[in-house]
Each structure stands twice: as C-alpha cells, then as structure tokens.
Chains A and B, each alone.
Chain A
Amino acid sequence: MMRRLALLALAGFILLPLVQAVILSFTVTLPDVELEQGTVGLMNYSAVLADSTLRAAMVNSGIYVVLNVVFCITLALPAAYALARFRFLGDRHFLLVILVFRVTPPVVLSLPIFILFSQFGLVNSPVGIAFVHCLFNLPVAIWILESFIRAVPRELDETAFLDGHSGPSFFFYHLIPAIAPGIGVAAFFCFIFSWVEVVFARILTVTGGKPITMALQAMFGFQTDIGMVMAMTCLSLVPGVVMIWFVRNHLARGFSLRA
C-alpha cells in the first residue's frame, strides 16, 4: 500500500508540469479576433505547423541531432573497443581526459567555440552544433559502448578472426550485431543531451539555422502566445518519447565510471 502511494506521488510529480503544458497547448491563451480566450481546440498546433520558421527549426534540430549521433557512435565504437579489449600505456589517463571534457561547463567554452567555428563557416549551421555537442556526448557514448563490449565474451572476437573476418568486416558483421542494444542506449543518451541543449545552440545560431530550443526562445516577446509555445514544446517531446519507447528494455543497462 505504501509502495503504491509512493509510486502515485512520483507519477504525479513527474506528470503535473507536462499535463499543464498539454492543457495550455490546446487552449487559446491570447485574445483573438475569431476565437475567445480559453477556447479549447487544435488551433495552436495548426498555427505551429503553418509557421515556416518553426517548421525549419524542427528540420534543423533533426539534422544536427542525427549528425551528432552518427559522429558520436562512429568515433566511439573503435575507442570503446580498444578500451574494452586491450590494456595500453595511458588507458586510464584517456578515461580521465574524456571525463574532464564531459564535465567542462559549456558556458566556459562558448566564446572561443564561436570564434573558432566562425572561421570554419560553421556558425548558423546545424553541422556546427552537431560537432560541438560531441564534446559531452562522445565521452558518454564511449562509456556506454565500452560496458556493452566488455560484456561480450572475448571468444566472439577470436572465432570471427578464425573465420577470416578482420578489421571492418568483423566490426560490421560480428561486433555491431552483438552490441546493438548498446548502440541504441548510446544513441538515446546522445539524443537526450543534444536535443535539449541550449548554451551551444544559442551561441552558434546568430541569424539562421536555429533549432527548436532557440525557436521556442524567440517566441517569447511583448505578447507571448503561451498556448502556441506549449504546442511547440509538446511537439518537440515526440521524438524523445519515441526514443524512450524503443530503448525501454535496455535503458536499465546504464553506464558507470571507470577512470
């Protein structure tokens, strides 16, 4: 009985702000010529979808998050394999270095990142954001993949090599299928840290290429249509919720500190 109550309290705590957002997203919150304030309906959603800047923001967010996940997984896989299977000079130092990068506050780096990226023409483009988010996502991807690869018995490597698979073909045909859930979990964590990030996203999008977070920010003004803001927020949750659903059974593998 106590457990039930505790779980209910937890569900209430987590869901209340979201319920509030959903309610607002279906309500007219600004006086309108046709609709009275407080009317319930889908108009906020149709207003969001009719707005070309907001549509572009969704596309931008989609591009940079996918690119970021691709960069992180491709670079983290070989590194995680090396850390899981070999001992080498400085392996623990490497783990410590990536930990330091993961915990560097983004705001510390925002200024030089802006100067550096403007020299490469990566400002106002989703590609720039995808690169800079690797700073905190690559370490996470390495930790997660390392723990999954470590759980695969070494015999897998040995039989694959005896079968004549080596290098890339081993990676693609043996290792990746064996740790597919790990790749899913790593992609999930990269996604959640990148999709919702605001510091780098703000500094790197001055005039264009704005992702969802910044488009939402721009909707606040003298007279904010909070209903529309909440409709946009609710839409922005959809990909995240889908990701959670896909990795739900593997979410509980997590990652841990080895430094």
Chain B
Amino acid sequence: MAPHDNRAWFLLLPALTLLGVVGALPLLAVFNYGFHDIFTLKDVHWVGVDWFADILGSDRFVASLGRSLLFSTLALGIQVPLGIAVAMLLLGQGKGAVWGLMLVALPLVVPWNMIPMLWLGLINSDSGLLGPGLAAIGFDWKFTGWHTWALILAVDTWHWLGLVVVLAYAGLSAIPDAYRQAAAIDGASRWAVFRHIELPKIAGALAIVFLLRFVDSFMIYTEAFAINAGGPSDATRFLSLELGEEIKGFSYGQAAARATLYFLIVLAVVWAFVAATREREA
C-alpha cells in the first residue's frame, strides 16, 4: 500500500498550472461568452440564457444530437469488437505481432485533414484504385445518405482502429500463459476464457479506448465536413458541423453557448461511465 503524503501535491502543481491556463481558463471564458451577444470584443451584451433556450428548443439541434449519438454508437460498435478481434489474431502470431501493430498504427500518424483526402482519392471514380469498382456497384456517397454514412464510418474506423488494437493487445499480452493453461485443463470454452479471463484484464485499457473513441466520434468534424459537408440533405449533419457553421458566421455568443452544451453532454457521459466503472470495481 502506498504511503499517505499530501506533499505529493507539489509534484502535481506544474502539470495542474499548465492545464489551468490552457484548459480551465478558456472553459470559464466559454461559459461566460455563452450568456452574451458578442458583436466585437468591446461590444458585448448580456442576453442571459436566450442562446441556450434557442438551441435546446430547435428541432435541428435534436436531430443533430440524434445523428451524432447514432454515429458514436455505430463507431464504437464496430471499432471496439473489431479491434479486440484483431488484437487476438495478432496475439497468436508470436513475433510477427509487432509488424501487425506497426501496420495498424500507421493511420494514426496521417495528418487529420488529409485522411478524408486519401479516401476521396481512393474512391475517385476516374483515377481511384477502388473508384471504378465502387461506381459499378452503384456506390454513390455524394447523393445517397447511407452511403455517405458508410464512407465516414469506414474512414473513421481506418483512422482509429490502431488505437483500439494497440491498447487491447497491451492488455491481452500481459495475461500470464498459466491462466490460459489452467482454463484449458478445466475445459473452458473459448468464449468463457474471453469472458472471465481476458475481458477483465483488458477492462482498464478498454475504458480509456471507449471514452476517447466516444468523444472523438461524437465531435467528428474534419472527416465529415471534408467528405460531404453534412450532406446529402443534412443526412450527416453532426453536432460539430453546426458549431463550425456558427463560428464561421462570427456568431460567437451562440457558438459559445453551443460549445458549453456540447461540453456538458460529453461531461455527463464521461461521469456516468466513470461512476459505472467505479461501482463495478467496488
């Protein structure tokens, strides 16, 4: 058991100070802007909760929230199981696993704004490697809503699968062989081994994957905007695209109120998740 010593706070102080400046101060500023109408930085009017009431009362907000939640659910539903499966596949490869890990980590180092460009190049119907084939089977990501969804999900999965695989592999490879041998002697099924030995071991790593992937997919902007800018006819208009529009339109007060709302939604989900994990541990 680690000794109790409150002087340890001195070691946290430098990190906490920096996070205070780049994190807490701007957050407070955003909350404050959300209650004002901002023409210029010198011409600011108090409007109370008007922005919040406007946003929460609009049908568009509810629709975008629904789309973003659905997108996050699909992204997590695909990437987490797929990532675990790939990690298990790699685990059976012995020394070759390291090459697999390097492979899936590759997309993580591609500049974000180029990821949609790589994919648009790949599916370009004239020059792309997959373009002619996709056009032949009638894949039309520009004008068919669910095709755009499929494309954005594929791009997002391509981008982030590596993170899930690396963290799941880390957890799985830390399990001593003796555990699996014991389970084999007991005649445990593959599923039972996963459910009772492997899953509990990777739960900590999966928790972080879950949160990071939730937040990033919930606030997806770069890929969604570059691929179809929310179209066709708003089918991929996610929460972040609405915020982007307001910032580009210099509607800062409203944008700040919206940003505050998004932050509160994210915070609520994170809090619920952490509370649930703690309860399970206790």
Measured CB to CB, the residues of A under 8 A from B are: 3, 6-7, 10-11, 13-21, 23-24, 71, 74-76, 78-79, 81-91, 94, 96-105, 107-113, 115-116, 131-132, 134-135, 138-139, 142-143, 191-192, 195-199, 212-213, 216-217, 226, 229-230, 233, 236-237, 239-241, 243-245, 248-249, 251-259
Contacts and interface: CB of A to CB of B under 8 A. Distances in A.
A10 B104 contact: yes
Interface string B37-67: 0000100000000000000000000000000
A254 B170 contact: yes
Nearest to B252: A111
B78 interface: no
Contacts of B29: 111-112, 115-116
A14 B243 contact: no
Contacts of A78: 11-12, 14-15
A143 B208 contact: yes
Given A13-B158, A78-B14, A105-B266, A21 B8 contact: no
Interface of B: 1-9, 11-12, 14-16, 18-19, 21-23, 25-27, 29-30, 33, 41, 86, 89, 92-93, 97-98, 100-114, 117-119, 121-122, 127-130, 158, 161, 166-167, 169-171, 173, 204-205, 207-208, 211-212, 215, 218-219, 221-222, 240, 243-244, 247, 252, 255-256, 259-260, 262-263, 266-267, 270, 274, 277
A191 B108 CA distance: 10
A88 B8 contact: yes
Contacts of A196: 108-112
Given A82-B11, A113-B26, A251-B170, 8 more contacts: A82-B8, A86-B3, A105-B240, A108-B30, A131-B22, A212-B111, A230-B121, A254-B167
Given A20-B128, A251-B105, A252-B173, A104 B110 contact: no
Contact of A216 (B3, B109, B114): B114
Contacts of B19: 97-98, 101, 134-135, 138-139
